[in-house]
Amino acid sequence: MVGTNTAFDSAVIRRDFPLLAKEIDGKPLVYLDSANTSQKPNIVIDTMAKFMRESYAPINRSAYTLAANATELFENARNAVAKFINSNNSREIIFTKNATEALNLIVNSWGRANLQRGDVVLLTHMEHHANIVPWQMLQQERGIELRWVPLTSDFQLDLSSLESLLTGVKVFSFTSMSNVLGTINPVEKLCAAAHAAGALAIVDACQSVPHAPTDVQAWGADFAMFSSHKMCGPSGLGVLWGREEILQAMPPYLGGGNMISEVRLDGFTCAELPAKFEAGTPAIAEVVGLGAAVEYLSSVGMANIRQHEIATSSYVLEMLTSRFGDDITIHGPRNPELRGATFSFAFRGIHPHDLSQVLDQSNVCVRAGHHCAKPLMKIIGANATARASFYLYNTTADADALADALDSASDIF
């Protein structure tokens, strides 16, 4: 495993991910869909398998040794996640099904308790459906108002009117990085602006936590959420981080086992954090697997991963532009420092669906579609785009393979 100070080499990192060695029809796999979901390193696969072989048991419920050990491994993982994002303490780490459920939890618990008809929620034009639809559901029920931060022509948030947009706003909920454009938003600045206006700051951190160092305290955020499956961990698991005093004051979301301290025929009282928001049996082996994933990412070094992705972005932008010129349109910032290595593009008028189908012939995996951001797609004037997204295990050879495969698509259409 690579230490934080060792030179970062994605060709070496790659060997930690068994699936990336797979060949289909004798050709290597070029996996460029990590913004969708990431591949898994051996350490995560092995830790989960070992846990299920040797240590699997219920957590929090039984006194026997096996269960006590499983509970300890589960809570160790929670501690590791807390440390990974510099949470104040691990009571602020709530495990959910995914980031989508975390957002629904906030809207249903905090939102229902605090938002009335006419209250304003500020979102941005670059949000994923997960940070739009739950608010729209509350809008239908409560008549809250939704406001939107628009984009500039170079795919940044247009902050020129932020102050007036924030007037009277109760919540500002925004993505730390666009899953379509790759744009990285100035999270600290946006949180500070929200607080100056008396609003809560919610950060959809799905696309940044896997790719760059995260410090929720330095951000000054109130809530943040992300999904395990995008950061080398297993699917079926998400993380909600919230400031303890806010989580304390919120009503529970899902009711059932584990989230109570007392149940009588005439009512119940809630458990302490974080159990209060973790009703039912959690994704036990998955949490343990996420613990291994954050240990792995930390050992590689999040700053190293960010540097690698800046270098990758420089390479991809330069190479694609020099090979294809005006035949390729990349919907996103040109400056590698202001973006992640996620590239949505249009190529020679070929429909993204057709493009991804032809790329698949070369085992190049890219996503085609609206990327769960239909309002944004409308704004950039595309029904669909192809999207290639790079991660710590992607090399410049992967980028070259993408370009070669693009060339072969032109031959067909």
Q: Where do contacts with ligand PLP occur on this chain (CB under 6 A)?
A: 98-100, 128, 130, 175, 179, 204, 206-207, 227, 238, 372
Cα 355 from chain centroid?
25
Segments in 235-301 forming alpha helices (H): 244-249, 284-300
Closest distance of CB 200 from ligand PLP, Å: 18
Helix (H, G, I), strand (E, B) or coil at 327: helix
The answer to whether 19 contacts another protein (rule: CB under 8 A) is no
- Which span sits near another protein by CB under 8 A: 139-147, 220-228, 368-376, 393-401? 368-376
Q: How many Å is the Cα radius of gyration of the chain? A: 22
Shortest distance (Å) from residue 16 CB to another protein: 27
Comparing CB distances to ligand PLP, the nearer of 301 and 352 is: 352
Beta strands 169-175 and 223-227, pairing class:
unpaired
Under the binding rule (CB under 8 A), the answer on residue 91 touching another protein is no
Q: Quick one: CA torsion of 199, 204, 205, 207, rounded to 10 degrees?
A: -140
Q: How far is the CB of 395 from ligand PLP (least distance, A)?
A: 23
374 binds another protein (CB under 8 A): yes
Nearest CA to 233 out of 44, 101, 81 is that of 44
In terms of residues, how long is the chain? 413
Q: CB nearer to ligand PLP: give 175 or 312.
A: 175
Task: Supply the minimum distance, in Å, between the C-beta of residue 224 and ligand PLP.
Answer: 11
Binding positions for another protein, 307-366, rule CB under 8 A: 351-354, 357-358, 360-361
Q: Is 270 a catalytic residue?
A: no
CB of 204 to ligand PLP, least distance (A): 5
CA gap 400, 102 in Å, rounded = 37
Angle between helices 284-300 and 65-84 (to 10 degrees): 40
Q: What binding mask, one character per residue, do residues 197-216 give for another protein by CB under 8 A, x or -?
A: --------------------
Dist. CA 233–CA 98, nearest whole Å: 12
d(CA 201, CA 212): 20
CA–CA separation, 345 and 314 (whole Å) = 16
User: Cβ closer to another protein: 122 or 359?
Assistant: 359
Pick one of ligand PLP, another protein, none as the site partner of residue 163 (Cβ within 5 to 8 A by kind). none
Interface ranges with another protein (CB under 8 A) = 24-25, 351-354, 357-358, 360-361, 368-370, 374, 377, 383-384, 412-413
Catalytic residues: 372
